[in-house]
Structure 1
Amino acid sequence: MSNHQKRLSVPKSWPVERKTDVFTVKAGAGPHGKDGVPLVILLRDVLGYVDSKKEARYALSQDAILVNGDPINDEARPIGMFDIVAFREREEYYRVFPDEGGRLALTEIDADAAESRLGKIEGKQQVPGGDTQLTLHDGTNVTADEEGYSTNDSIVVDNESKEIVAHFPYEEGALVTAVRGNHGGNIGELVDIDVTPGSGSNIVTVETDDGEFETVEEYVVVIDENFTGDGE
């Protein structure tokens, strides 16, 4: 199987130029599915910290780069929405956050904010012992020892303990960001949830400083002010 990915066919969320070269790096197996951006692209094309995959492999071998609190040694490891990328020696910390148009970008944060990450709940099920298992937007699972969580809610997970430290319900009045579609990157208050009968997507209305926009429910994520960059 090829280790290359044609630039013209990469997901719109990838922060790469599509008309410079024919190929770029292919993401490895891991979280975020097809939307995950290989770590080496962030290191090379976004931050400019390395010039090649070889340099990326050396940097990763030093355990100096953490993703969600864990050292990473695979330059193709997929990185996606709300991941925390930390450079311990540089004392630099970034959150992957959707930019205008839904393109993934790195937002610099402080060390305290880098200790946890946001996750959108996309599934839940009971597991033996009576606990609830929550499946997040990136495919990871988190165990909750209490009820009250629903799909489309957001939680904050501590990177060290992997425990839930905050919960933001999906409801009218919540602060949300659009992560896909024409309004990707916009932040505002969720003012209306229009439930669509049948299997169609619910339509939501979001009020921003510049007006309102509508999008499908799947394209918005509940956030906290600390995740906009204004509270850090």
Structure 2
Amino acid sequence: MSNHQKRLSVPKSWPIERKESTFTVKADAGPHGEAGVPLVIILRDVLGYVDSVKEARYALNQGTVLVNGEKSVDHRRPIGMFDILAFTQREEYYRVFPGEGGRLSLTPIDADAASSRLGKVVGKRQVKGGDFQLQLHDGTNVRVEDGSEYGTNDSVVVDNESKEIVAHFTYEEGALVTAVAGGHAGNIGTLDEIVVTAGSGPNTVHVETDDGEFETVEDYVVVIDENFTGDDE
């Protein structure tokens, strides 16, 4: 299987120029599915820390690049929405956040904010022993004793070291949300109304912003709090 793919075919969320050259690095299988951006693209194309895949491999082998609190040595490791990147030698920390048009961007944060990450709950099931397993948007799972307080579309904050939930934001009218896909991606506002659609059509939401309001598909919004709006520093 090829380790490259055509730039014109990559997801719109990838922060690269599609017409710059024909091919780019292909992400490994892993978190975030097809939307995952190879770590080397973040290092080379976004931050400019390296000029080539060879340099990226060398930099990662130094063990100073952390993804969600864990050392990453795979230059094709998928990076996606709400991941935390830490460059310990530089003392630089970033949260991957959806920008305008859904293109992923890096929001500078401090070391304390980099100790945990946000996850959207996309599924829940009971497992052996009676506990519940929450499936998050990036494909990872978190185990909890009482699943009754968590619902689909809620958001949780997971500590990178303990892997335990340290905060929980309920998906409900009045919640602060950000659009992560569609024409309003990157916009942040208050969830004013959840419109349940009869039949097989997707539910929609009305969101009020400082500049007005917008309507989008329910799956396109994620509940956040003020710490995730880019004002951490």
Q: Which amino acid aligns with 2:24?
A: T
1:188-207 aligned at under 5 Å gives the runs: 188-207=189-208
Taking the aligned partners of 1:145 and 1:53, their CA distance within structure 2 comes to: 43
Taking the aligned partners of 1:20 and 1:102, their CA distance within structure 2 comes to: 20
The question of 1:5 aligning with 2:5 is answered: yes
Q: What TM-score results when the alignment is normalised by the length of structure 1? A: 0.99
Q: Which amino acid aligns with 1:48?
A: G
Query: Which residue does the alignment assign to 2:136?
Result: 136
Stretches of structure 1 lacking an aligned partner (at least 5 in a row): none
Match of 2:43, SS state, is helix
Pairwise CA RMSD: 0.7
Distance of aligned partners of 1:212 and 1:31 in 2 relative to their CA distance in 1, 3 Å threshold: same
Match of 2:227, SS state, is helix
Query: Which residue does the alignment assign to 2:25?
Result: 25
Q: Matched residues, percent identical?
A: 77
TM superposition shift of 1:186: 0.2
What is the count of residue pairs matched by the alignment? 232
- Deviation readout 1:83-115 (Å, 9 max, x if unpaired): 000000000000000001110000000000000
Q: Which amino acid aligns with 1:191?
A: D
Query: Which residue does the alignment assign to 1:145?
Result: 145
- Asked if the contact 2:39/2:76 (under 8 Å) is kept, the reply is yes
Match of 2:219, SS state, is helix
Q: Which amino acid aligns with 1:2?
A: S
Q: What TM-score results when the alignment is normalised by the length of structure 2? A: 0.98
1:59-138 aligned at under 5 Å gives the runs: 59-138=59-138
Match of 2:51, SS state, is coil
Query: Which residue does the alignment assign to 2:171?
Result: 170
Taking the aligned partners of 1:221 and 1:127, their CA distance within structure 2 comes to: 26
Q: Which amino acid aligns with 1:220?
A: V
Taking the aligned partners of 1:193 and 1:177, their CA distance within structure 2 comes to: 14
